[in-house]
């Protein structure tokens, strides 16, 4: 059997592709041969990643997008179609969080987390799915977290939003399987990015957190990429509705 992992000729969108895990995923998809559209609010970060992809001989389109805006989501899909004419892979990676106890969290904070981490994923996935249905195939990969399974102090809104995203993954998988669209999730453990900087930049907190992890260290963003490439590839052609946790064993504790 000749199982293929390369993504030549495919077109991928990566939200939050300007830094952190999204940047690593965008570089990984481009390295596997896909044309990559990177979306986020910060133009200079998108431009920086675009330069890296171009310098490596890849094809890329940066699109400034605020996923809170339904109009921006429509624009992202329109610009992708104008430039590349199809959407094969959508990686819903962008997310936000606030470190607040449930007693201190504000109502608008809860809404911002859910609007970004759940509602925007539904809106963008729905728009992409309408294109993928016409193509009779597509892959959607949602980036969740071990926090969808474990109650982390001060992370309630975020954890609840990612648990909702895990269920949204399964619902989209079930509704869209008849159209050839496979929907899965990748759930990182703690990964060294701006998102987790308050943890890894403080040596005392970092060593305590690392002592609780079976592998004794945080993940690097590049270590999340392989599972995304696998789920985007022909090798994962009969997998839908699942989450792969890339967590160094965190969920065994
Ligand atoms: N780092 C970890 O420890 C960890 C662990 C588990 C799961 N994850 C998940 O991994 C994913 C990536 O996280 P990361 O660590 O790479 O975080 P990060 O460095 O903070 O990056 C977050 C990305 O999301 C984008 N974003 C946020 N709000 C947006 C909006 N309204 N519209 C468009 N883009 C938006 C940001 O771009 P702009 O600010 O430019 O818009 C940025 O590119 C997230 O889904 C996160 O939940 C991270």
Q: Is 51 in the pocket of ligand 1 (CB under 6 A)?
A: no
* Torsion of Cα atoms, 196 then 201 then 206 then 210, to 10°: 60
In the reported structure, the alpha carbon of residue 40 is separated from the centroid of ligand 1 by a whole-number distance in angstroms of 9
Residue closest via CA to ligand 1's atom 2 equals 191
What are the residue numbers of the active site?
158
Q: Is 117 in the pocket of ligand 1 (CB under 6 A)?
A: no
In the reported structure, the alpha carbon of residue 153 is separated from the centroid of ligand 1 by a whole-number distance in angstroms of 19
Q: Is 20 in the pocket of ligand 1 (CB under 6 A)?
A: yes
- CA neighbor of 46 nearest in space, from 64, 34, 72: 64
Q: Which atom of ligand 1 is nearest the CA belonging to 17?
A: 43
Q: Is 159 in the pocket of ligand 1 (CB under 6 A)?
A: no
CB-facing half-sphere around the CA of 23: CA atoms within 13 A:
18
Regions of the chain where pLDDT drops below 70: 1-3
Q: Which two tokens stand for residue 203?
A: 């040596």
CA-to-CA distance for 92 and 40, rounded, in angstroms?
A: 11
Order the strands of the 138-143 sheet from edge to edge.
60-64, 35-40, 11-15, 89-92, 138-143, 181-188, 243-246
For residue 154, CA distances in Å to 146, 161, 172 come to 15, 13, 29
Q: Which atom of ligand 1 is nearest the CA belonging to 199?
A: 3
Q: Which atom of ligand 1 is nearest the CA belonging to 20?
A: 16
- CA neighbor of 187 nearest in space, from 126, 242, 114: 242
Q: Is 24 in the pocket of ligand 1 (CB under 6 A)?
A: no
State the CATH class of domain 11-252: alpha beta
What pTM does this model have? 0.98
| Alpha helix segments (H runs only) across the chain | 20-31, 43-55, 70-84, 107-114, 120-135, 156-176, 197-200, 203-212, 225-232
Q: Which residue has the tokens 């809170």?
A: 68
Q: Is 115 in the pocket of ligand 1 (CB under 6 A)?
A: no
Question: Model confidence over 55-100: pLDDT tens digits?
Answer: 999 999 999 999 999 999 999 999 999 999 999 999 999 999 999 9
Q: Is 84 in the pocket of ligand 1 (CB under 6 A)?
A: no
For residue 137, CA distances in Å to 20, 146, 198, 208 come to 28, 29, 40, 45
Q: Which atom of ligand 1 is nearest the CA belonging to 93?
A: 45
Q: Which residue has the tokens 């509602």?
A: 119
CA-to-CA distance for 223 and 109, rounded, in angstroms?
A: 30
**Which phi and psi angles does 247 have, rounded to 5°?**
-135, 10
CB atoms within 10 A of CB 163: 16
Residue closest via CA to ligand 1's atom 19 equals 20
| Positive or negative torsion for Cα 93, 42, 62, 113 | positive
pLDDT of residue 23: 99
DSSP state letter for 216: S
Burial of residue 113, with CB atoms counted within 10 A of its CB: 0-12 exposed, 13-18 middle, 19 or more buried: buried
In the reported structure, the alpha carbon of residue 102 is separated from the centroid of ligand 1 by a whole-number distance in angstroms of 22
pLDDT of residue 4: 78
In the reported structure, the alpha carbon of residue 66 is separated from the centroid of ligand 1 by a whole-number distance in angstroms of 12
What length does the chain have?
A: 253
DSSP state letter for 88: -
Question: Model confidence over 195-222: pLDDT tens digits?
Answer: 999 999 999 999 999 999 999 999 999 9
């Amino acid at each position: 059997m000749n199982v293929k992992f390369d993504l030549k000729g495919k077109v991928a969108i990566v939200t939050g592709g300007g830094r952190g895990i999204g940047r690593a995923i965008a570089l990984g998809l481009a390295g596997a041969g896909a044309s990559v559209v990177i979306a986020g609010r910060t133009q200079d970060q998108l431009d920086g990643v675009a330069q890296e992809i171009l310098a490596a001989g890849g094809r890329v389109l940066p699109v400034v997008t605020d996923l809170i805006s339904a109009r921006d989501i429509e624009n992202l899909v329109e610009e992708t179609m104008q430039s590349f004419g199809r959407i094969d892979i959508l990686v819903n990676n962008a997310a936000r969080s606030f470190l607040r106890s449930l007693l201190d969290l504000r109502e608008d904070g809860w809404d911002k987390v859910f609007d970004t981490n759940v509602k925007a994923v539904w809106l963008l996935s729905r728009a992409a799915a309408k294109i993928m249905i016409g193509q009779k195939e597509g892959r959607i990969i949602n980036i969740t977290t071990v926090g969808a399974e474990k109650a982390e102090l001060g992370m309630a809104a975020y954890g609840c939003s990612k648990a909702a995203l895990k269920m949204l993954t399964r619902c989209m998988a079930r509704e869209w399987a008849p159209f050839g669209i496979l929907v899965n999730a990748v759930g990182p453990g703690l990964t060294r990015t701006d998102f987790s900087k308050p943890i890894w930049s403080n040596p005392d907190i970092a060593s305590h957190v690392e002592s609780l992890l079976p592998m004794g260290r945080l993940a690097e963003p590049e270590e999340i990429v392989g599972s995304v490439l696998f789920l985007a590839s022909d090798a994962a052609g009969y997998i839908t509705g699942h989450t792969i946790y890339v967590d160094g064993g965190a969920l065994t504790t």
